[in-house]
Amino acid sequence: MKVLKFGGTSIGTADRMKNVASLINNGEEKIVILSAMSGTTNMLYKISEELENKESQNANKFVDQLEENYRKVVQELFTSPEFNNRGLELIKYHFNYIRSFMIDIFTIKEKRTILAQGELISSVLFYNYLLENNMESKLIPALNFMRIDNNLEPDNYYIKENLNRELKQYPDCKTFITQGYICRNMFGEIENLKRGGSDYSASIIGRAINAEEIQIWTDVSGFYSGDPRYVNNAKPLPRLSFDEAAELAYFGAKILHPSSVLPAKLANIQVRLKNTLKPGDPGTLITSKSFGKGIKATAAKDGITAIKIKSGRMLLAYGFIRKVFEVFERYKTSIDMTTTSEIAVSITIDDKTYLKGIVNDLQLYGNVEVNENMTIVCVVGDNILEQKGYINKVFDALENFSIRMISYGGSRHNISILINSEDKKEALIALNNLI
């Protein structure tokens, strides 16, 4: 059985949903995982933020707008009055449900329930479209089997048992539809796998059923050797290894959610990235093997904050770095890059939510310096560290830029460099000339 995930733009209009229906109509056994239609999750965020700020009038305005968009989608999607009515009823139900949260006490629980509505709507609309067009399928609710544990990690045992139970109910069915992104937490409450999390759902589900392949369908033809917005000669990459793909996804190539590589790698299930708008394009195939040598791609991640802790106490001391790292752990903030010298340690983070608290706590250990608006640019390739000369080439390419940090040797597949965000474009062009 294959797992196919379709992102928001792939099902962003009624026509695109119809296109996806024709793409999956091929007799193969599959689980189809759907995101919310594009723009929906953003709008649901806006609605929840207005409700958090007790601006229910504004929230209502956005709910009305979104509902109107969906009413149009329903009219374009279905042909028969019966399915048209069914669609309109469904939309009414979900939007009235959202309106029921215009209450005084609006907590994170209500917010998560609102955020889940996008995937719940898109999947049921799509399922009904298949029904109307006599394409056999079954809808299996993700909330019946997707669960995260108290560390917010997927509860793989629970997922496997419960997903297989759902599938076994329909032994003759070849096409299952479910929602990406949404899940329950250990208390059974509605949660989600964070922005862009449907890719992660796809690989968790792929691992749970030991899928033959995981396909991620978006609106681009796979990973590119560089970001086409900045680099003219960027080309699609036909093959990548799991490690190369993880580095690229993590360091800014938006096509794949970085967390989604690991479950596929652990279960050794190949991942294929495909373009819904150009299904004939080969896309990128990600497997445990690597093909080709040298630098294959560049990527960039913006919004990075560098924090330097300088302390005489670090000199010849042990346990200092542990204390520094513990501060980040306390604030559940993950670290991207680190470099150390005998008297200072520099760390980068991409999530500034708890920056104030982090800086406060770090000041216990030394002088703290913060630089915001930085960018990590990186070059990725298989074993580039073991092949001579690459670091020289990278330094030569970046000779005109000021480099704040460099990470070499952390992984065999990646060299990352921290620069000012305003130098990003030129730095990417210079690095791409190395490919």
Does the protein bind ligand ASP through residue 252 (CB under 6 A)?
A: no
Estimate the share of the chain in helix, then strand, then coil, as percent rounded to the nearest 5: 40, 25, 35
- Least separation in angstroms between residue 10's CB and ligand ASP is 10
Compute CA 173 distance to the chain's CA centroid, rounded to the nearest angstrom. 29
User: Are 70 and 92 within 8 A, CB to CB?
Assistant: no
Which range touches ligand ASP (CB under 6 A), out of 35-43, 213-221, 224-232, 333-341?
A: 35-43
Output the smallest distance, CB 360 to ligand ASP, in A: 31
The closest alpha carbon to 166, from 197, 209, 213, belongs to 209
Q: CA–CA distance from 68 to each of 37, 45, 222, 371, 388 (Å)?
A: 14, 17, 33, 44, 59
Say how many C-beta atoms besides its own lie within 10 A of residue 7's C-beta: 25
The reply on whether position 206 binds ligand ASP by CB under 6 A is no
Distance CA 163, CA 210 (A): 12
- Which residues between 62 and 121 bind ligand ASP (CB under 6 A)? 118
Choose, by CB under 6 A, the member of 3, 36, 74, 347 that binds ligand ASP: 36
Q: Within 100-197, where are the H helices?
A: 108-115, 117-132, 156-168
313 binds ligand ASP (CB under 6 A): no
In what helix (H) or strand (E) does residue 28 lie, and over which residues does it extend? Answer: none
Give the residue with the Cβ less far from ligand ASP, 87 or 196: 196
Q: Pick the closer one to ligand ASP by CB: 41 or 375.
A: 41
Min CB(321)–ligand ASP separation in Å: 34
In the complex, the smallest distance separating the C-beta of residue 411 from ligand ASP, rounded to whole angstroms, is 26
CA distance 323 to 301: 27
Q: Which of 12, 87, 197, 263 binds ligand ASP (CB under 6 A)?
A: 197
The position carrying tokens 């992104």 is 181
Q: For ligand ASP, which residue of 72, 165, 195, 254 counts as binding (CB under 6 A)?
A: 195
Instruction: Examine residue 8 and tell whether it contacts ligand ASP (CB under 6 A).
Output: yes
Report the residue from 35, 311, 407, 414 that binds ligand ASP according to the rule CB under 6 A.
35
Piece of 126-134, 193-201, 243-251, 368-376 that binds ligand ASP (CB under 6 A): 193-201
Check binding of 226 to ligand ASP (CB under 6 A). Answer: no
Number of H helices, E strands in the chain: 14, 16
154 counts as binding ligand ASP under rule CB under 6 A: no
Q: Residues in contact with ligand ASP, total (CB under 6 A)?
A: 12
Determine which helix (DSSP H) or strand (DSSP E) holds 204, and give its type and residue range.
helix 198-208
Q: Does 12 bind ligand ASP (CB under 6 A)?
A: no
Which residues make up the interface to ligand ASP (CB under 6 A)? Answer: 7-8, 35-36, 41, 118, 180-181, 195-198
